[in-house]
Amino acid sequence: MAAEREIQLISEKFREFYAKGRIETPREMERREFGFIPFGAKAMFRHLSFSTPEDLRLYLVKNTPAHVYYSSAYYENPEAEMERKGWLGADLIFDIDADHIETPCKAEHDRWRCKGCGLEGRGETPESCPRCGGISFEEEKWICNRCLDAARHEAQKLLDILIGDFGFSPIDELEVSFTGHRGYHIHVSSPNIRELDQPARREIVDYILGTGIKAELHGFKPSLERLTTGEGGWRDRLIKALYDYLEEADLKALMEAGLSRATASKILEIKDRLLQILWDGRPSLALRLIRRRTLDKLVEAAVEREASAIDTVVTTDLHRLIRLPGTLHGKTGLIAQRVSVEILDDYDPLVEAVAFKGGMLKVYVERAPRFSIGGVLYGPYIGEEVELPMEAALYLLCKGAARLAG
């Protein structure tokens, strides 16, 4: 975390940002709970509410919090303690974070350090320290284009399902936003889903992840000559997923899916016939070639590849506080920015979400990998003083990777 002098500068910049303009607010903002994390603090101030966008903006200008959150839920009394809030419903929220997606570049830009013995490593933080077995770590995570592209790809898969299967309108009911850090949020607001309880939301999560899918219930029965396709949904997606998976699978992949070496080799031998059968939609023929249990394992592996990597806890939480789009992310200085569904393909958060432009700043950088901000590449830096454009300097200051020079 940045120290006193740095916090002062960052706060000043955040204040300028909020003083400048209008603030975006969620639907029915007066029914929402708001929460804030100040710079340098760990705990959240919550149970607050605002009735107009201007009230909220003035609060932000006055207090310049590092992080701004609002509730996905609508309450009778948003300011009351949890049990007395009076839950009226909640939007459906999906969180896609590059932290939960395997990307090869993490080994290049992420580091961890064991708090117990000081062992350091690169890439994803292990569950426990390989040297001392400790489970507390300091983590250093950086944003990069490849991680963000992977997250966006997952977001697009999710949108396909939400629009095609669930029938949500991309114009009225879906909102996508960049989180300001390593991922995307998708908000669904529709009277249809507002009052869904936790089990119902869990079913939606399972649908999106393909959890519990049974090939048999999508037509893979020994008695069925020809599959009915073209109805959309998982039925068609499953066949496509299986096809794509089988087409690419090699011995290693099949064994990772849980098949024995012998079965995996056999699948590879009959691969072309299987692909043809899938193409023709002939489940009875497929089940004559491979056993049901083998098919189930292939389906599981294929579906996992096809499903969208959402955070299951966020979506099933009826009282979640989520980052308010249009506000600044205290760890990056980037805007958590709304992106319309149509332009998501061409959206580049590391250019579009830059909040501070203009001027130069001299900073001392402890350590930073190569990073891109505002379309310019910087670094890597290690223990050096550099003069940087404001957006890059602020990004490093927010990350706590640099301090003001002099």
Partner 1 sequence: MIGVLEAKYPFLDRAVEMVGVLGLRVEELVGFGDVVDRGFERVSEAILRGVVSYRGENPEVEMLSFPVALMFVSLIGDPFLDRRYALAEGKRAYRLLREEAEEVIAEVAESFNWNIRLRRAILDGQLYSFELHFADYLRNASGFHEDKWKLVNRVMRNGYVLLTKAEAARLLECEVENLILQRVSRHRRIELPGELEKRVEMLKKLLEEHRGQIGGETLPERVDVEAFPPCIRRIFEAVLAGRKASHMERFALVSFLLNAGMSIEETAELFTSISDFDPEMTRYQVEHIAGLRGSRTKYKPPNCDTLRTHGICQNPDNLCRRVRNPITYYIIKARRGRRRRGKTS
> Cβ 167 to partner 1, closest distance in Å?
3
- Which parts of 13-42 interact with partner 1 (CB under 8 A)? none
Residue 206 annotated among the catalytic residues of the structure: no
List 207, 243, 347, 364, residue binding partner 1 (CB under 8 A): 207
In sign, the C-alpha dihedral spanning 208, 211, 212, 216 is: positive
* Residue burial 182-199, b: 16+ Cβ < 10 Å; e: rest: bbbbbbbbeeebeebeee
List 206, 348, 366, 384, residue binding partner 1 (CB under 8 A): 206
**Residue with Cβ nearer partner 1 (107 or 200):** 200
Instruction: Choose the catalytic residue: 91, 99, 110, 311.
Output: 311
Dihedral angle, C-alpha 115, 121, 127, 133, nearest 10 °:
-50
- Strand 321-323, strand 67-71: pairing: antiparallel
* Burial (0-12, 13-18, 19+ Cβ within 10 Å), 272: exposed
> Cβ 269 to partner 1, closest distance in Å?
29
List 22, 43, 104, 136, residue binding partner 1 (CB under 8 A): 136
> Cβ 237 to partner 1, closest distance in Å?
10
Q: Mark the segment that binds partner 1 (CB under 8 A) among 53-61, 140-148, 211-219, 286-294.
A: 211-219
E-strand ranges in 179-259 read 183-188
List 158, 188, 193, 335, residue binding partner 1 (CB under 8 A): 193
Please give the Cα distance from 26 to 117 (Å, whole number): 45
- Which of 14, 40, 30 has its CA nearest to residue 71? 30
Residue 99 annotated among the catalytic residues of the structure: no
- Does residue 168 belong to the site contacting partner 1 (CB under 8 A)? yes
- Total residues at interface with partner 1 (CB under 8 A): 46
Please give the Cα distance from 106 to 90 (Å, whole number): 34
Residue 346 annotated among the catalytic residues of the structure: no
- Does residue 135 belong to the site contacting partner 1 (CB under 8 A)? yes
- Does residue 284 belong to the site contacting partner 1 (CB under 8 A)? no
* Residue positions counted in the chain: 406
Contact 297, 259 (CB under 8 A): yes
Catalytic residues: 95, 97, 311
Binding site for partner 1 (CB under 8 A): 82-83, 127-128, 133-136, 164-168, 192-193, 196-197, 199-200, 202-207, 209-214, 217-219, 221, 224, 227-228, 231-235, 312-313, 316
